[in-house]
Structure 1
């Protein structure tokens, strides 16, 4: 499919929005968004604490009083009121931030609500973390099957896979420093569904196998949390083909 070759930057936002089907149409969710902004959220202070550290390398989000952080705050605040059972959870800031680089505030809110309607994604944010724990277990089993040697190395280094799988899955890899790869991940997850995140994680581990297997625990943490996607800095299309392997679905 053409999307595996990457969406044009100029139309990426429009295509992302086209993947969503809000109840009552876009105009309805847009009105809901603006109504929610007029209310106070109990999560406002918590959201504000995360704004400046969400995207430290992206200029648009660096200014504490800037447009980027204000828009990020608005969408996160609105969603915390829209879905009070979720409220605000770390990880959503990365999802919303990436969306805002291509969409208006209202459109980003629309795409976020659509993503959260996918049961396997939404349950990750339940208060008991039941959905997240299930996905962590599932990914661990996939690691044993597809990257057994790496799984053993992580065990020897006392590297808890939960430490990196949690931000990967909650933030849809939005915390990775290679923003071009992140855009491609969002392209495919919005098309294929959030179970595609399993494919992404396994592709990243496979590509970085040689380096990961010789690193100590602190070095592993640094690479996995921010820079594991840099292995595809040049071979981006090859990465997309790796992700398209049908590991899980």
Structure 2
């Protein structure tokens, strides 16, 4: 079955822009990205859009569809009524380059600020061993495709430009949480306490666990429940729990 859909697509650049109206053909089984490609082919050859795999694994085609951060390649047209207007706009949290393409370099800057995995001393790279339960615990976070939808929907980033310098955002706080729970990470031996660093250097305290990041994740990662809340608990325990504080002092003295 084929029907004609009414699309509103944001067109513009760094100097501004507005929504343009398009009537476009929609076929069974198509996704929003198919329609954007049809618009490029038939009505708007200069429409800028970022995409790559069209399979929900590269994270390139992030946009806001009817106000919700989504991957265009994973948003089926069947979820909209035939007479419903579909509005496609660029990610609101990041500066527009042109049309649906935004400058997400903020995220790469934050990625560089997270200290990498620190190998354990005296253990060759091919000899790392860890329990299967520890592998499974962090495997969920490794499913991230860096679409940055969680970064876009996080109101700390989205609605408060002044927070960006101090706040890494859910994607990179999740990365810190993954490293913090890694049994072979030896960052603490070099004086880096990842939970404390998340609080002091990466703005963990700004997160008020609304779970909006988890709700838009196309990989269904439970970012808030499995990464951010446990990371907050470890940061607080280290700072305020007297037994944890005493244990850290004893271990440091023994070292």
Q: Same fold, TM exceeding 0.5?
A: no
Relative contact order, higher structure (CA 8 A, sep 6+): 1
Q: What TM-score results when the alignment is normalised by the length of structure 1?
A: 0.36
Which of the two has greater helix per residue?
A: 1
